[in-house]
Amino acid sequence: MLEMPDGNIVLPRPPQNARKVAKGRRNHFTGQTNVGTDEEGGMDIESYTELQVLLALLARPGTVHVENQVKFEFTGPDGETKDHFFDFRVTKADGLRTALMVKAAYRFRQAKIRDELVYIASKVPKSFADKVEVVTEQNLVPSEIYNAEMMHQMRRPVPDADAAARRAIRDIRGDVQIRDLVEIIGHAGAGFQALVRLIRTQELTLTRQERISYETYVTRNHHDA
């Protein structure tokens, strides 16, 4: 959603994925989220694991673009042309692209499915993706997912708190505890959320991979100055 200077709202574009995702199915997680600097594009989600993977991809340094339900045509073992829809294709700042298959671990353990995915991956040319990865819920790092979901929940700017947070980190050197920065910012919980947004925009970096909390230490990315 984009808010214009005159206060009008521009709704996000409908999902552009090549395969329609059936939403509202009973006993199965489906949904839609918006992505982009101003959340200008909608993206369909077919499982909770997909949502977690998407949020983690968006939060990782170097991610410049994420596509979902990307159509790939290949020749099957029977010689027939077939379609596979990769759940995501992520482009990094260095230009490398990775095509991702998101599967439940119990399904990936099934030899027939695993062999099929391995075969499809073997057919992917560099012109489509530099590499192919399969992601299951067992591959997810809990602290990374926790932080990615927090960044998504706290993503909307609060101008006063955000400006105070940027002033607070302007001159810091080395590692600083979030609790101390919140005291300097002076906006209580809003100050904490502002720091989370600075982590999201990579103006701050965690000194180690852990769940973001008041006890977490961060350092400033001085190349963003």
Listed by start position, the domains of the chain span: 2-140, 156-224
pTM above 0.85, yes or no: no
Task: State the pairing for strand pair 81-92/97-102.
Answer: antiparallel
Among residues of the chain, what percentage have pLDDT more than 70? 83
pLDDT value, residue 21: 59
One-letter amino acid identity for 18? A
The class that CATH gives domain 156-224 is mainly alpha
Residue written as tokens 């909307």?
156
pLDDT in tens, 26-40: 666 777 777 765 565
One-letter amino acid identity for 126? K
Cβ atoms within 10 A of the Cβ of 142, count?
9
The class that CATH gives domain 2-140 is alpha beta
One-letter amino acid identity for 74? F
Element (H, E) at 63: strand 63-75
pLDDT value, residue 18: 53
pLDDT value, residue 224: 46
pLDDT value, residue 25: 57
Dihedral angle at the C-alpha atoms of 21, 27, 28, 32, nearest 10 degrees?
70
pLDDT in tens, 30-66: 777 777 655 656 788 888 999 999 999 999 988 999 9
Span of 14-28, 117-131, 185-199 with lowest mean pLDDT: 14-28
Closest CA to 145 of 50, 66, 78: 50
